[in-house]
Amino acid sequence: MSSELLINATSYEIRIALVENGQLAEFHLQRPTEKGLVGNIYRGRVVRVLPGMQAAFVDIGLERTGFLYVDDVYVSNTDLDARMMKPENPCGKLEFTSSDPDTDINRSPGMSIENLLKEGQEITVQVGKEPIGSKGARLTCHITLPCRNLVFMPLTDHIGISRKIEDDEIRQTLKERIESLRPAGTGFIVRTVAEHASPDELEADMEFLLLLWDEIQDISSRTSDIPALIYEDLDITFRSVRDLFTTEVRSLILDERKTYDKLVKFVQTFAPKLLNRISFYQGDAPLFEAHGIDVEISRALERKVWLRSGGYIIIETTEALTVIDVNTGRFVGKNDLEETIFKTNMEAVKEIAYQLRLRNIGGIIIIDFIDMEDAQHREELFCSFQEAVKKDNSRINILKLTEFGLVQMTRKRSCENLNQMMCEPCHYCAGEGVLKSRRTICYEIFRKISRRARHHNSFKIILKVHPRVADMLLKEEEQVTNELERDTGKRLIIVPIRNFHIEKYEISWDG
């Protein structure tokens, strides 16, 4: 499989595309105004304990308190016995362990949230899931620190090997290497990318993670203002190298010089073998346009997805779950109805697996395939779907087809999906549908002006937009607007047009 990693970096947005065999497979973006929180470690304060929900709310300095569920607190058997005898002991004295999907650690049974936490208590937590909608961040007490080849669990005595490393001999060799290197009482997970890593590479990762943990502990011990951020995870550019730049990715291409220089230094330190696969893009057309990425992103925001046969799927997201409906559409088949339905469903399987990964759809997902009477067809469909989702790195659980042709599944969600990141509720229809957000429209305008500016000799640009977009350009995005004028050498005149649809804009070049 031939893969490329493309990074489009600007001062207002970083966009990352993983392309597999010429097709956009994953898309990630980060905006300075909407920076991600997953992986950050905070020293927080418990503000409320809820025995009825077996959970607690923790203030970590964000707009909304974080949510800590009792199952995200783990204790050793020794501490568990002591805790049951002395329920007033603070959570900070407990030993926590990890619930990473690559490990098999027994949970401590019988513990209640009121035995572990009390209001006003200080506690160290890590963000495991971004705030989504009206919900605060999902927090965990077990700390995990990822590097390229290893994930460090400082409070866990355990060694885990990625389940995607299937060779038993390699798994055993890796486990023995980690056992010989790790400090007593610590835990490590060997990541998939480490399957062919050398002992020196594993040792270098381990040394870095141990030093990082020492630094985090030192900062935590010196922190007096609670709540406080004590560790911030890498930004999206460096995370893309850590998590996506595997041996299967033949090249990483960037289009911004400062980001390129920073990334080269980072790779020289942590993954020098990858250095010859990184290049700076100097083409005339913008990077994402040259690779057709912008078109693919726009399609990924659409509700209806057409299949090659003429059938289609409809993707509907609610607050509780996502529903995907399969339809034959224009596909009428050649022989009989059962064959037409089976072919449509089989084509939909691959497209649904692709769309789940591309759109980063998580949580509970219900798929309504067209009902099939043939039991063998149903079994073949289920097996094909299981095979299709293997490329997805997110944890997925799929139940068998029901008698109504429904597939129930879950996909691990740690952040907002593509629609939530790039769209906002439609104010024309009281939130029943979605539109591109004002910020997404602003950035689309910035890219279009940057792309066309070199082809125009005019010194003035007249931009007609909806008043709400104009307001964001002149206020929240004022700095970027000024940078655009400076970089293009052209004056930007913004004209609000009240009767414009919010997604409509016109750019004209004057003088």
What digits encode the pLDDT tens for the residues 452-499? 888 888 889 999 999 999 999 999 999 999 999 999 999 999 999 999
Distance in angstroms (rounded) separating the CA atoms of residues 331 and 342? 12
List residues bridging with 312 in a β-sheet.
Answer: 306, 327
- 35 compared with 258, residue with greater pLDDT: 258
Give me the pLDDT at residue 135, please: 84
For the chain, state the CA radius of gyration: 25
Using 50, 70 and 90 to split pLDDT, how confident is the model at 108? very low
Distance in angstroms (rounded) separating the CA atoms of residues 360 and 349? 16
Does position 46 have pLDDT exceeding 50, yes or no? yes
Question: What is the rounded average pLDDT of the residues 232-261?
Answer: 90
Among 3.40.1260.20, 2.60.40.10, 3.40.50.261, 3.90.1300.10, what is the CATH number of 437-510?
Answer: 3.40.1260.20
β-strand pairing of 228-231 with 187-190? unpaired
Q: Which two tokens stand for residue 351?
A: 């497209």
DSSP assignments along 316-363, one per residue: EE-SSEEEEEEE-TT---SS-HHHHHHHHHHHHHHHHHHHHHHHT--E
Range with the largest mean pLDDT of 5-9, 49-53, 263-267: 5-9
- For 293-297, the CB contacts below 8 A with 24+ separation are 293/6, 293/8, 293/17, 293/19, 293/24, 293/27, 296/23, 296/24, 296/27, 297/24, 297/27, 297/418, 297/422
**CATH code for the domain defined by 41-231:** 2.40.50.140
Question: What is the rounded average pLDDT of the residues 406-433?
Answer: 83
Does position 180 have pLDDT exceeding 60, yes or no? yes
Contact 31, 13 (CB under 8 A): yes
Task: Please give the share of the chain, as a percent, with pLDDT higher than 70.
Answer: 91
Question: What is the rounded average pLDDT of the residues 271-298?
Answer: 91
Token look-up 């339809």 returns: 327
**CATH code for the domain defined by 3-33+247-295:** 3.30.420
Token look-up 């001999």 returns: 169
DSSP assignments along 375-399, one per residue: HHHHHHHHHHHHHHGGG--S-EEEP
Contact 145, 101 (CB under 8 A): no
